[in-house]
Structure 1
Amino acid sequence: MAQPNIVNHTPFVVEPLFFYDERNVPIVTVAVKASCDIVGTHHLRFSEQQAPLCLAGEYWGAPETASYKYEPEAVPLKLTTDVVLVGHAVPEKEGDSAVKVGVKVGPVSKIVQVYGNRLWDKVGDTFQPTPPQPIERIPLNYEHAFGGRDPRVPEGEPQYMSTSNPVGKGYMAPGQDCLVGMPLPNLEDPRQLIQSWRDQPSPAGFGFISPHWLPRTPLAGTYDEEWQRTRAPLYPSDFDRRFFNAGSPGLVAAEYLSGGEDVVVINASERGALRFALPGLAAPRCKLSFHDANHVEMECRLDTLIINTDEHQVFLIWRAYAVVPEGHQHVAGVSLWLPRVDVLAGQRLSKGEV
């Protein structure tokens, strides 16, 4: 299929993506990605080099054993905005062994309690965590949250693995004794702190949830023999579009963010607390032109916000999609523009006439 002609009147990256919906009807998604640099602690400016869409995603390590650092951005749609924090916990002062890391974006917020490394130890007749070691920098990923597998049982035994975070640490299978020397997670929910080695809290984190982990898995629907007979390769009849949102619990907004929201990030940057506002842009608009001279105009919705405090960058992704019953090949062109000219950190946000 010939690629449609793209006319981009913005500084951002635009990519048309082609999918089929639950009814096997072709849809075209227009994804728009903006990259910003965090200047100091209080300002954003648009990056000179705009990052491309990360279509395949990126992991924190080997894909088989690691969590997503960046989810695959080849997503047809999201029902609301995912907020994601990528980075490391940073102590408030040298020698601290515990710190609270937090992010707030408009109405969306989350706090995670972070501890230095700890192990389960036996003290008399009880099992207790060792005192946490001083924190230097701890990755804010699910490898450091509660989960993983019990190392005492053979690999491939699913009942001895955390289904909500198979790459984490601290999981001990039901019916097993406490394993002395077992690491505790570094990241905990302050409302659900571990009190006993028998506790199995929900993983605490700020990152993307993998599609085969709880709580996303049930939203994907039922892939069984009936699905094989009656619907494959379509989505199952009980597929739920909420599956496409991959933000961690607490960081999936109740409704789309609109831009201009205030952002606060604490204890995740060597620079100190970060406080800035998202670009107050009117949402980008796009037009799909078809080979029969018709067209459809759409407003893109901000459905993904990524704050990387290691690189001090912010990524915003907007999407819009349209059903194209005539087929993907019917799309002749994609145009993208901003409804008005805005200014951020002295940089105009449009190029060419809009």
Structure 2
Amino acid sequence: MLQLQNDTPFIANIAILPDERGVDTAYVTVKATFDLQGGAPRVAAKQRPLVVSDEFWGTPGQSSLKYASEVHLLKPHTDVVLIGEAHAPGGRPVESCLVGVRVGELRKVIQVFGDRQWSRGVMAPRISSPVPFVTLPLVYERAFGGTHVVDPEKQQVLAELRNPVGVGFRGKRSHSEMLGTRLPNLEDPSNLIQSVADNPRPFGVGHVPPSWAPRVSLAGTYNDTWRMTRAPYLPLDFKREFFQTASEGLRSSGHLKGGEPVELVNVSPEGALRFALPRCALGVSLYIARERHDPPVQLETVQLEPGHKRLCMLWRSAVPCDKKALKVRLAHIQLKSLEGAS
């Protein structure tokens, strides 16, 4: 009988899944939750459970992804994701401010505007003045994107495939049809929208859903050939990067190690949060039949929730077991050392 011996204060799980080659593999996942109440992170008394399936802000397919599933194959890189709100500096209403996220060498800055719309101009629609705000959700519903129903009867719909739930997407709308439509609140400060013809990349810091471009292109080809020769395993052209959910600019090259400096600007009433990622040395031992395996443990996800003063870090390791899947008898997880957290 498979046993899990977890000698850490964190949540641990083991799952046996076919890898991208179709080989049964034992995956051990460790998820740590830290409190960010001033000073260095502290191990939270209540650890957050694993997310076993994607959780959306609203109706799936019609809203953005809040929490991504944490039960999957290995990620080749570390994702950094922020879930939260923009906060006006000093708590005083502003028309616009910058939000910054930095983890190690990863850095992303977003220009956050109050609500705006396209208004009547002399020659073409112009951007209205932003409505002052104090807090504003950092969700993809407020980034560039959206859909345009061109012909309801023929079900002809155009969409920004990188963010179909956003705002500002023109499609085939005329200038007059764009009047009164919303502009995105979240923009790339180096490529701000100037006219209704602009088509910038959606700019956010949250999880990217599996059905959005470019992530969906990494899922592989599911056609008759796949059904006849490969199903139920993943297609041969499946790419492991499919499991990366971080937005552009917040995915590391390789894996973070812990200890990287973190700076979050204007995502909490404090204005700026600065700390270092805890450095956790984890040991995973898998006993399959009479053999012991000690696979490497990689940091796959850093999830920041400054509104809840919360940091979650998730590690994963894997050992192919294939025809010995039923002989995986014990997963032993140890915390060898913990630096930068109390």
For the criterion TM > 0.5, the same-fold answer is yes
CA contact (8 A) 2:24 2:321 kept: yes
2: CA distance, partners of 1:323 / 1:337: 21
Equivalent position to 1:132, from 127, 130, 133:
130
| Structure 1 residue 174 displacement after superposition | 3.6
Amino acid at match of 1:225: D
CA contact (8 A) 2:148 2:172 kept: no
2:204 is equivalent to residue 205 of structure 1: yes
1: CA distance, partners of 2:110 / 2:127: 19
| Structure 1 residue 157 displacement after superposition | 4.5
2: CA distance, partners of 1:218 / 1:153: 27
Structure-2 residue corresponding to 1:350: none
Cα pair distance change 1:259/1:92, threshold 3 Å: same
Measured against aligned partners, the alpha-carbon deviations of 1:292-342 in whole angstroms (never above 9, x if no partner) come to 221211221101000001111000000001111224322111100123x33
CA contact (8 A) 1:100 1:113 kept: yes
2: CA distance, partners of 1:220 / 1:247: 16
Equivalent position to 1:342, from 314, 324, 338:
338
Q: Can you give the 5+ residue segments of structure 2 that lack an aligned partner in the other structure?
A: none
Structure-1 residue corresponding to 2:72: 75
Structure-2 residue corresponding to 1:47: 44
| Structure 1 residue 23 displacement after superposition | 2.7
Cα pair distance change 1:129/1:157, threshold 3 Å: farther
2: CA distance, partners of 1:58 / 1:158: 29
2: CA distance, partners of 1:227 / 1:90: 48
Greater shift, 16-25 or 199-208, is seen at 16-25
| Structure 1 residue 18 displacement after superposition | 2.0
Alignment length (residue pairs): 340
Kindly report which structure 2 residues correspond to 1:212-223, keeping only aligned pairs within 5 A, or say none.
212-223=211-222
The 3-state SS of whatever aligns with 2:242 is helix
2: CA distance, partners of 1:153 / 1:201: 25
2: CA distance, partners of 1:155 / 1:140: 35
Equivalent position to 1:330, from 318, 327, 341:
327
Cα pair distance change 1:300/1:256, threshold 3 Å: same
| Structure 1 residue 280 displacement after superposition | 2.2
CA contact (8 A) 1:17 1:76 kept: no
CA contact (8 A) 2:21 2:236 kept: no
Amino acid at match of 2:15: L
2:184 is equivalent to residue 188 of structure 1: no
Structure-1 residue corresponding to 2:96: 98
Amino acid at match of 1:342: L
Amino acid at match of 2:29: A
Amino acid at match of 2:227: Q
Cα pair distance change 1:265/1:167, threshold 3 Å: same
Amino acid at match of 1:254: S
Greater shift, 122-131 or 98-107, is seen at 122-131
Kindly report which structure 2 residues correspond to 1:32-43, keeping only aligned pairs within 5 A, or say none.
32-40=30-38, 42-43=39-40
2:320 is equivalent to residue 318 of structure 1: no
1: CA distance, partners of 2:148 / 2:119: 16
2:241 is equivalent to residue 245 of structure 1: no
Where has structure 1 moved over 6 Å in runs of 4 or more?
none
TM-score, normalised via structure 1 length: 0.92
2: CA distance, partners of 1:233 / 1:342: 41
Cα pair distance change 1:98/1:185, threshold 3 Å: same
Structure-2 residue corresponding to 1:164: 162
| Root mean square deviation of aligned Cα | 1.7
Structure-1 residue corresponding to 2:146: 148
Cα pair distance change 1:270/1:156, threshold 3 Å: farther
Amino acid at match of 1:165: N
User: Percent identity among equivalent residues?
Assistant: 37
Equivalent position to 1:173, from 171, 174, 189:
171
Cα pair distance change 1:190/1:32, threshold 3 Å: same
CA contact (8 A) 1:153 1:160 kept: no
Measured against aligned partners, the alpha-carbon deviations of 1:237-269 in whole angstroms (never above 9, x if no partner) come to 211111111111100101210001110000110
2: CA distance, partners of 1:333 / 1:156: 57
